[in-house]
Amino acid sequence: MSLRAQTITHVAQEEGSYHIYSDHGNRVSCDKLITGERKERWLKSSANEFGCLMQGVGKHSRALTDCVQGTDTMRIIRKQQVPTGKPVTYGNFVCDYRPLKEEKWRTRLTVGGDKLTYAEDATAPSSHMTEAQLLFNSIISDYKRTGAQFTTAVVKTFYLNNPLHHFQYMKIYIDKMPPEIQHEYNTADLADANGYVYFEMRKGMHG
């Protein structure tokens, strides 16, 4: 059984007839999840994501979300504050079930990088297979001789805490923002005439 099939089965078993995949194995859209029968779960997950990326959420909470400390990655601004000629991209929401994570039902806000330009290097290279093999072989060899052990660490907000030298901009339709965030940040007064809320991204985000 594939990893994806195992995940679908796991979700289906935990949730009975409800899971985040359709009967055809396709992922259900976030728009449907936040209006479905388990919408409270996904609205909370979405609010936590906004809170993490912004200046937190829960200080004035109406008990929907956890009290999340923000990273000040993005800030709400008015449309008029976007610099002239600066492109404005869209936001895309990705919902997933991660059984091994502390927050199993996860929403991630990703940025439409295809609409943006950035003059500097925006890549985040990782190790190649050859480097990984050398590392693993070294650990195995040292374990046999000295009993060495291998330790890893996860940095949860690694990509969210890298300041941008040039700010980027994004807009999100207000109806896609959870009520908790709309209430805490008073978005109704900040949205433009078409219902879009504008954000100034000051640090790196998921793309």
Extract the tokens encoding 14. 């935990």
170 neighbors 111 (Cβ within 8 angstroms): yes
Q: How far apart are CA 114 and CA 89, in angstroms?
A: 8
pLDDT tens digits, 17-37: 345 776 666 777 888 888 887
End-to-end CA distance of the chain: 30
Which residues on adjacent β-strands are paired with residue 57? 68
54, 101, 70, 5: which is closest to 200 by C-alpha?
Answer: 54
DSSP classification of residue 70 = P
pLDDT tens digits, 23-76: 666 777 888 888 887 888 889 989 999 998 999 887 655 444 455 788 899 999
Q: How far apart are CA 119 and CA 122, in angstroms?
A: 9
75 neighbors 206 (Cβ within 8 angstroms): no
Give the global pTM.
0.74
